[in-house]
């Protein structure tokens, strides 16, 4: 068939590129945009190398400063002073906010940042703005991310002397598919074709490569099977993975993640140092922002020092005659943050349980990310794994980006004569995907930790006699109540043949292909019929856009139980 003359790009924001096209005609670079720091790495022909900016930094701060309405990011721009970051004109921590609506507790926790984060608590995107010449200039997490990406791209193009179009970008495990579309949107804005990779799985790939290289050196053939626990905690997110590694293949057995990180440790400590911190900073003038910033910098500094010393002296002049002078001990810091550490422990437990792996099976425990130096984190993992030492083989701040660069090289199809790229990362679904049925329950169709690509189906039936339509509401998550999960989209199937309730078989099939694209297929037929009553509907997910909190409520209110489904127990 001849090519159509016109092609009209889809209105959907997510289609910045055609994801079914062959990925990576040239070698993709790896990018890690963290909540507080970002980095870029590439395969130099024999190994992974991190690029440095003009200030000779490999790890750059993730912030964007708005000056006279022209934004510039932390990759290129140099702040004259750390405190410049706290003038209200610098936006950071956007990885915590991307794709989140204003009912999300993570958004609420971001309100103490030294710029504007405002919420209406109705399920729309929060209002984020920088103070530029005393005027609030609104921005979005996507825009901020796109600015980092453009700067990193320019830097790499300049140094590598070739255009950069393809990247492997690391993402937190707990990101929903809706959040992924936001990240993809940011990449499209920066003109990049992207492959997303959960952070701990990138670390797992690096681990797989190191194990394989070691096996080659020791002449052990492809080496034995090793099970590793990967713990990656940065400023915004804590992620855990269990991977089974052998012969350069990293099979992800289980993933667990949560939006807890260094930022929470920082905020808890700030509250502890200055208990009325929230009331002091409740209205946001330039002075408040500055004082909040001063406290933030001093606390951050103190937490870093507590990794190497048992107590630290904090002296901050908060202006207006108020001063903070306090000695903070490591015990106090650990006590104030006991809940965060408890959550970390639970994530590890959950991940080991989901992977069906016993502690004795673990060959190595790999701890990486900005929080990996915190003594409590290290002791917690050693205790849990009953190990005397943690894995030493990688730089904790460079592990994720290096893994992403490896994946970029592998997926670009280049071969390495020494077998350094004879690698494969086999991914698993970080969250369950299912539909709302049986009242307000979330019924997973593709369970969490299913190896990808994956395809699963379940059969449902009607709740009313002669019900001709059914609403398929697709969610992603782990909660039993449907609305507590991430809404991905909805559509209805029509033309269910008239029959008593409970008789029609409504098959819902979910398919995740090798490029991580999710499709939902739905069709209805009467038992014994050979053909579906109506053609199967196939819908790409997610379909929702911003404001989906309202969508779900509206759906519920408008349709109530009229178009519900219940799961069908198969009878023999």
Candidates 17, 62, 53; CA nearest to 166 is 17
- DSSP letter string over 306-343? HTTSSEEEEEEE-STT-EEEEEEEHHHHHHHTHHHHHH
Q: Which of 521, 526, 537, 539 binds another protein (CB under 8 A)?
A: 521
- 204's enclosing H/E stretch is helix 199-217
Of 321, 535, 557, 560, the residue at the interface with another protein (CB under 8 A) is: 535
Taking the complex as a whole, the smallest distance from the CB of residue 544 to another protein amounts, in Å, to: 23
| Tokens linked to 100 | 């989140």
Tell me: does residue 353 bind another protein (CB under 8 A). yes
In this complex, which beta carbon is closest to another protein, that of residue 470 or of residue 512?
Answer: 512
**358 in contact with another protein (CB under 8 A):** no
Residues 429-458 that bind another protein (CB under 8 A): 451, 453-457
d(CA 229, CA 452) in angstroms, rounded, equals 20
H or E element that contains 116:
strand 116-118
Beta bridge partners of 135: 132
Convert residues 44-83 into a mask of x (bound to another protein by CB under 8 A) and - (unbound).
----------------------------------------
Contact 423, 412 (CB under 8 A): no
Binding letters toward another protein, positions 228-257, x by CB under 8 A: ----------------x-xxxx-x------
Cross-strand partners of 42: 49
Nearer to another protein, 68 or 218 (CB): 218
**Which CB sits closer to another protein, 453 or 502?**
453
Kindly report the backbone phi and psi dihedral angles of residue 470, in degrees, each rounded to the nearest multiple of 5, phi listed first: -140, 140
- Interface with another protein includes 404 (CB under 8 A)? no
Segment contacting another protein by CB under 8 A, of 124-132, 276-284, 378-386, 506-514: 506-514
CB of 400 to another protein, least distance (A): 18
Is residue 142 within 8 Å of 186, Cβ to Cβ? yes
Q: Which of 49, 422, 478, 483 binds another protein (CB under 8 A)?
A: 422
Asked if 106 interacts with another protein (CB under 8 A), we say no
Residue 536 in contact with another protein, rule: CB under 8 A: yes
User: Is residue 323 a contact point for another protein (CB under 8 A)?
Assistant: no
Interaction between residue 279 and another protein (CB under 8 A)? no
Member of 24, 92, 231, 237 binding another protein (CB under 8 A)? 24
**Residue placing its CB nearer to another protein in the complex, 128 or 411:** 411
Interaction of residue 305 with another protein, rule CB under 8 A: no
What CA–CA distance (Å, rounded) separates 38 from 398? Answer: 10
Surface-to-core class of residue 306, CB atoms within 10 Å of its CB (0-12 exposed, 13-18 middle, 19+ buried):
buried
H/E stretch holding 22 reads: none
For residue 369, the surrounding DSSP H or E stretch is none
CB-CB contact of 227 with 357 (8 Å): yes
Q: Does 379 bind another protein (CB under 8 A)?
A: no
Measured from the CB atom, is 402 or 425 closer to another protein?
A: 425
**Is residue 221 near another protein by the rule CB under 8 A?**
no
Dihedral sign for Cα 377, 383, 385, 386, please.
positive
Report d(CA 398, CA 59) in Å as an integer.
8
| CB-nearer residue toward another protein: 84 or 513 | 513
Shortest Å distance, C-beta 350 to another protein? 11
Task: Residue 80: count other Cβ atoms within 10 Å of its Cβ.
Answer: 6
Nearer to another protein, 255 or 551 (CB): 255
The token duo for 401 is 């980006």
Q: Is 61 or 195 the residue whose CB approaches another protein more closely?
A: 195
Q: Which two tokens stand for residue 425?
A: 């990362």
Q: Does 23 bind another protein (CB under 8 A)?
A: yes
Q: Are 305 and 292 in contact (CB under 8 A)?
A: no
Number of residues that bind another protein (CB under 8 A): 42
Interface positions with another protein (CB under 8 A)? 22-25, 222, 225, 244, 246-249, 251, 353, 410-413, 422, 424-426, 451, 453-457, 507, 509, 511, 513-514, 521, 530-531, 535-536, 538, 569-572
């Amino acid at each position: 068939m001849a090519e159509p003359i016109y092609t009209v790009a889809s209105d959907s924001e997510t289609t910045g590129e055609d994801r079914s096209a062959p990925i990576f005609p040239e070698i993709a670079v790896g990018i890690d945009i963290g909540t507080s720091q970002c980095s870029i790495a590439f395969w130099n022909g024999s190994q992974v190398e991190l690029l440095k900016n003009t200030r000779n930094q490999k790890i750059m701060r993730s912030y964007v400063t708005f000056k006279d309405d022209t934004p510039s990011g932390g990759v290129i721009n140099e702040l004259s002073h750390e405190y410049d970051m706290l003038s209200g004109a610098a936006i950071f921590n956007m990885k915590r906010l991307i794709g989140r609506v204003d009912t999300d507790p993570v958004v609420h926790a971001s309100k103490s940042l030294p710029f504007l984060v405002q919420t209406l608590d109705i399920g729309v995107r929060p209002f984020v703005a920088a103070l530029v010449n005393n005027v609030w200039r609104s921005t979005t997490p996507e825009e901020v991310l796109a600015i980092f990406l453009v700067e990193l791209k320019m830097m790499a193009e300049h140094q590598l002397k070739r255009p950069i179009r393809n990247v492997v970008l690391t993402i937190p495990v707990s990101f929903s598919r809706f959040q992924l579309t936001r990240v993809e949107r940011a990449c499209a804005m920066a003109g990049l074709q992207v492959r997303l990779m959960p952070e701990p799985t990138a670390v797992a790939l690096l681990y797989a490569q190191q194990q394989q290289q070691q096996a080659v050196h020791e002449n052990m053939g492809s080496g034995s099977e090793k099970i590793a626990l990967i713990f990656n905690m940065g400023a915004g997110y804590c992620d855990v993975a269990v991977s089974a590694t052998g012969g350069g293949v990293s099979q992800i057995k289980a993933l667990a993640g949560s939006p807890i990180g260094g930022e929470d440790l920082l905020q808890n400590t700030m509250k502890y140092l200055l208990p009325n911190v929230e009331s002091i900073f409740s209205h946001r003038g330039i002075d408040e922002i500055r004082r909040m910033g001063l406290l933030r910098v001093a606390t951050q500094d103190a937490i870093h020092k507590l990794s190497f010393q048992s107590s630290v002296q904090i002296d901050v002049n908060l202006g207006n005659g108020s001063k903070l002078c306090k000695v903070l001990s490591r015990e106090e810091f650990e006590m104030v943050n006991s809940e965060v550490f408890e959550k970390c422990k639970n994530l590890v437990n959950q991940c080991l349980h989901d992977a069906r792996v016993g502690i004795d099976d673990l060959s190595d425990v790999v701890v990486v990310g900005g929080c990996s130096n915190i003594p409590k984190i290290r002791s917690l993992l050693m205790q849990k794994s009953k190990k005397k030492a943690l894995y030493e083989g990688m730089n904790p701040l460079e592990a994720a980006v290096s893994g992403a660069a490896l994946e970029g090289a592998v997926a670009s199809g280049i071969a390495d004569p020494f077998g350094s790229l004879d690698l494969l990362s086999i991914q698993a679904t970080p969250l369950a995907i299912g539909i709302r049925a049986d009242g307000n329950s979330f019924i997973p169709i593709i369970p969490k930790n299913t190896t990808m690509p994956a395809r699963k189906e379940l059969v449902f039936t009607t709740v009313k006699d002669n019900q001709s339509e059914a609403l398929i509401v697709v969610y992603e998550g782990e909660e039993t109540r449907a609305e507590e999960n991430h809404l991905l989209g909805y559509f209805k199937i029509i033309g269910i043949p008239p029959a008593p309730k409970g008789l029609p078989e409504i098959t819902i099939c979910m398919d995740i292909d090798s490029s991580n694209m999710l499709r939902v297929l739905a069709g209805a037929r009467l038992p014994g019929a050979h053909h579906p009553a109506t053609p199967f509907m196939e819908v790409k997910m997610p379909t929702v856009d911003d404001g989906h909190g309202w969508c779900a409520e509206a759906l519920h209110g408008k349709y109530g139980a009229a178009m519900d489904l219940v799961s069908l127990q198969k009878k023999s």
